[in-house]
Amino acid sequence: MGKLGISIYPEKSTFEKDKAYLDLAHEYGFKRVFTSLLQIKDDKEKVLSEFKAVVDYANSLGFEVMVDINPALFDQLGVSYNDLSFFHELGADGIRLDIGMTGQEEARMTRNPYNLKIEINMSSGTSYVDNIMSFSPNQKNLLGSHNFYPHRYSGLDYDHFVFCSEKFRKHNLNTMAFVNSREADFGPWPTQDGLCTLEEHRTLEISTQVKHLMLTGLIDDITIGNAYASEEELNAMSKAFFADYPSIKVVPHKDITEAERVCLFDNLHSYRGDRSAYMLRSTMTRIYYKDKDFPPHHTVDMTRGDVLIDNEGYGQYKGETQIALKEMKNDGRVNVVGRISDSEMFLLDFLKPWSNFKLIEDKSN
């Protein structure tokens, strides 16, 4: 099972605030902490004193703490890839290499005596991970994580994200990506327009970002890049991540009937395997509710994302739930009972035939 994570930046906050955030995240099932030493300019004693208290507290709650570093920081702190005792003394469970080395060093680091995890950058799109694998690393200690992008419009394109992620998937390595909190207002650097991996996630609700990453099948762990997310966001992220089935938000039509509402929101839907290019069919509602009335109403022409229920004019299909995938003409036998929320319309591309999903009411409209 994958893990949820938060990010903390001790030099930008106070121990009390970080402690409260860790407590809250722990309550909602979060297990990972990301923090960064990249912006540290002082000596290693100061680093230890600033970070160790909060890292120790995170460890006491069972969090796995990963620290972001780069080769220049090794020199600054007097650390060698042959001796990772500094990070062990800090209380870290692993280090994330923001910039890679030759591959041989990374492989050697995975065989450290402290069993520290070595997390490498997934976002470059090079053969970096293949190179490391050629030096026989301890794969249990080798992880991958994407970057986050503080600058608006600089986040990863989805196709590049897939290309990069598949390089790690083929080696069965654990993968992580960052999502963005709308409520958080700081990160490791002075400027940030949010801290997400995928650019298309920057303005989305956190639960939608999580659902998308999970539906790709490419990401194990998901971490909030910026701090501090609100309790509402932590709760929504936890529900989306730990849900038995993905859920898609629907804005119901104002004239939806009670029977139609039951079809949509009180059932686990199954995407029929003999798929159509025009509609996603969830056929069981026509069997469950064959004795209910589905009179014609709102029988307008259909566009992608419309949620449909066949009315009594369709005979044995009466009560079948569908989602339009293309424009279709309506001859009066199909009720348009709602619409997939604009922010989650793109998730339709990630639902697969024979998969199960839920529809939930979007109450933000």
Q: Are residues 180 and 32 in the same domain?
A: yes
Please write the tens of the pLDDT for every residue from 219-230: 999 999 999 999
Query: Structural domain tally of the chain?
Result: 2
Q: Are residues 271 and 211 in the same domain?
A: no
How far does CA 204 lie from the centroid of its chain?
Answer: 12
Q: Which positions ≥6 away from 273 have C-beta within 8 Å? A: 353, 354
Token pair listed for 316: 């044995």
- Mean pLDDT in the chain? 95
Please write the tens of the pLDDT for every residue from 266-276: 999 999 999 99
Return the higher-pLDDT residue of 344 and 99: 344
Q: Are residues 260 and 180 in the same domain?
A: no
Domain that holds residue 226: 4-243
Q: Are residues 234 and 355 in the same domain?
A: no
197 has a pLDDT exceeding 90: yes
Q: What percent of the chain has pLDDT over 70?
A: 98
Residue with tokens 């300019």: 41
**CATH number where 98 lies:** 3.20.20.70
Residue with tokens 């038995």: 244
Name the domain boundary from 219, 243, 267. Answer: 243
Q: Are residues 288 and 193 in the same domain?
A: no
365 has a pLDDT exceeding 70: no
Pairing state between β 32-36 and 4-7: parallel
Q: What is the average per-residue pLDDT within 46-71?
A: 90
Q: Are residues 164 and 40 in the same domain?
A: yes
* Helical packing angle, 15-27 and 44-60, nearest 10°: 30
pLDDT band at 363 (very low <50, low <70, confident <90, very high): confident
Kindly report the pTM of this predicted structure.
0.95
Q: How far apart are CA 251 and CA 253, in angstroms?
A: 7
Q: How far apart are CA 207 and CA 211, in angstroms?
A: 6
Q: Which residues of 124-139 are buried (b: 16+ CB within 10 A; e: fewer)?
A: beeebbeebbeeebee
Name the domain boundary from 243, 264, 279. Answer: 243
Cβ(9)–Cβ(218) below 8 Å = no
Q: Are residues 273 and 322 in the same domain?
A: yes
Token pair listed for 208: 């939608």
**CATH number where 274 lies:** 2.40.100.10
Return the higher-pLDDT residue of 268 and 79: 268
Q: Are residues 275 and 173 in the same domain?
A: no
